[in-house]
Amino acid sequence: MNIEYQICTKTVMDTSDPDIRFDEQGICNYYYEYQEKASRILLQGDAREQAFKSIISGIKEAGKGKQYDCLIGLSGGVDSSYIAYMAGEMGLRALIVHFDNGWNSELAVSNIEKLVNKYHFDLHTLVVDWQEFKDIQLSFFKSSVPNIEVVTDHAIIATLYRIAQKYDIKHLISGSNIVTEGILPNSWGYDASDFSHIKAIHKRFGSVPIKTFPHLTLFGYFYYNFIRKVKKVNILNYIDYNKSDAIKELAEKVGWQYYGGKHFESIFTQFFQAHVLPQKFGFDKRRAHLSTLICSGQTTRDEALKELTQPLYSEQSLKEHIEYVTKKWGITQQDYERIMNSPPKLHEDYPSNKKWIELALKYKRKFRL
């Protein structure tokens, strides 16, 4: 069945998302969902400032007598770098944690170094065993599901909780935010806390036994959230967070360098988002990001449309990156092409704990935990 192409008249979301719905004015559901989410979660003016101050003092209070006030997962990207910068400026005693999955770009590593040096943060790095990680990642690639990033995202969550436990830290400051990431279609993402899903795909397509890969079981998920009560603080929702201003400020104050695309601090993420997703799965994640920026007033629809016409990759860079990825993964060009050409699958096509996690989230929200 051929769906006729349609693009939202307010944002730039379009029918590359199979679940999109439009009203009579051609405005898509994501626009309205953003407005609802923003009005529910984002405070304004004095109320926001008060909330922000209260969060910070709450973090400092909970950290009294302990080695650290809070924990920050730092990838070297804009959002996590900005929260590290804020923590440094506000004198929070943050423990910085970096997850090294073997795909770090030099820029990411150098950005992390600059922040750690400037504010004299203590740093922990979790270097995942490359052979194990490679095998899990490759299984996801072979399974043809769109959100391969859950492999990294899951390991990051597991690592952050484990380290928070080790140092008895109650607050994880996260770079998640509404104004630059509020819109993300379900079919383009997948919950990263689900380890059983990762295990299922790995069982089907992988061969290296999972021994040291950081993971969170369902029990662990409940344990950290409801028993240890480790709080995830989306601090960027409590300030006037503007992406281009943040990049400028980081550059001026810390010497931080931008790498040209969302999450492109990882070579792999750039490759997957700028090439595999559009090429194999038929969607461009920039649409979601730019649509969010339109809704939060950080860009205009015209600007966004213009940006979408820019190629995601230069021919030379793409060639280099394909070579690099296939080399690191140890697969041939033919294998790579075969997998790229095989039909996309959904995450739902494989086993998962999705319904339990959704239940837990509902429960958490309902009881404001």
Partner 1 sequence: MNLVRVIPTLLLKGEGLVKTENFRNPVYVGDPINAVRIFNEKEVDELVLLDITASSEKREPKFNWIKDIVSESFMPIGYGGGIANVEHAKKIFDLGVEKIILNSSSDNFALITDLANIYGSQSVVVCMDVRKRLLGGYTTYKLNGTINLKQNPEKFAQQVVNAGAGELIVQSIDREGTMKGFDIDLIKQVASAVNVPIVASGGAGTIEDLYEAITFGHASAVTAGSFFVFKGKHRAVLINYPKQSDLKNLFSTHK
Say which DSSP state 236 is in.
G
* Closer to partner 1 by Cβ: residue 75 or 225: 75
To the nearest whole angstrom, how small is the minimum distance from the Cβ of residue 306 to partner 1? 30
To the nearest whole angstrom, how small is the minimum distance from the Cβ of residue 91 to partner 1? 19
Beta strands in the chain (DSSP E): 70-73, 94-100, 122-127, 171-173, 231-233
Taking alpha carbons only, the member of 175, 184, 134 closest to residue 155 is 134
Alpha helices in 255-300 (DSSP H): 267-271, 286-295
Output the CA–CA distances (angstroms, integers) from residue 142 to 112, 133, 201, 332, 342, in the order listed: 32, 14, 9, 13, 9
Q: Which element (helix H / strand E) includes 117? A: helix 106-119
Binding-site member from 49, 129, 249, 335 for partner 1 (CB under 8 A):
129
What are the respective helix, strand and coil percentages of the chain, to the nearest 5?
55, 10, 35
Length of the chain: 369
* Closer to partner 1 by Cβ: residue 18 or 209: 209
* Contact by Cβ (8 Å): 152, 99: yes
* Closer to partner 1 by Cβ: residue 129 or 303: 129
CA distance 104 to 126: 13
* Closer to partner 1 by Cβ: residue 112 or 254: 112
* Contact by Cβ (8 Å): 288, 184: yes
* Closer to partner 1 by Cβ: residue 109 or 210: 109
* Closer to partner 1 by Cβ: residue 64 or 327: 327
Tell the residue number behind the tokens 């979301």, with chain if given: 13
**Who contacts 170 (Cβ-Cβ below 8 Å, separation ≥6)?**
62, 63, 164, 229, 230, 231
To the nearest whole angstrom, how small is the minimum distance from the Cβ of residue 74 to partner 1? 10
* Contact by Cβ (8 Å): 290, 308: yes
Taking alpha carbons only, the member of 262, 253, 258 closest to residue 115 is 253
* Among 57-65, 85-93, 100-108, 229-237, the segment contacting partner 1 (CB under 8 A): 100-108
To the nearest whole angstrom, how small is the minimum distance from the Cβ of residue 135 to partner 1? 11
Decide: is 125 part of the binding site for partner 1 (CB under 8 A): yes
- What part of residues 102-121 is at the interface with partner 1 (CB under 8 A)? 102-106, 109-110, 112-113, 116
To the nearest whole angstrom, how small is the minimum distance from the Cβ of residue 21 to partner 1? 42
Binding mask 146-175 for partner 1 (x = CB under 8 A): ------------------------------
The pair of structure tokens assigned to 318 is 């793409």
Decide: is 123 part of the binding site for partner 1 (CB under 8 A): yes
* Closer to partner 1 by Cβ: residue 74 or 83: 74
* Closer to partner 1 by Cβ: residue 122 or 349: 122
Decide: is 130 part of the binding site for partner 1 (CB under 8 A): yes
CA distance 363 to 343: 36
To the nearest whole angstrom, how small is the minimum distance from the Cβ of residue 259 to partner 1? 12
Output the CA–CA distances (angstroms, integers) from residue 73 to 160, 190, 207, 295, in the order listed: 7, 20, 30, 27
Binding mask 320-359 for partner 1 (x = CB under 8 A): ----x--xx-------------------------------
* Closer to partner 1 by Cβ: residue 196 or 326: 326
Decide: is 232 part of the binding site for partner 1 (CB under 8 A): no
To the nearest whole angstrom, how small is the minimum distance from the Cβ of residue 147 to partner 1? 22
The residues of the shown chain that bind partner 1, judged by CB under 8 A, are 98, 100, 102-106, 109-110, 112-113, 116, 122-125, 127, 129-131, 324, 327-328
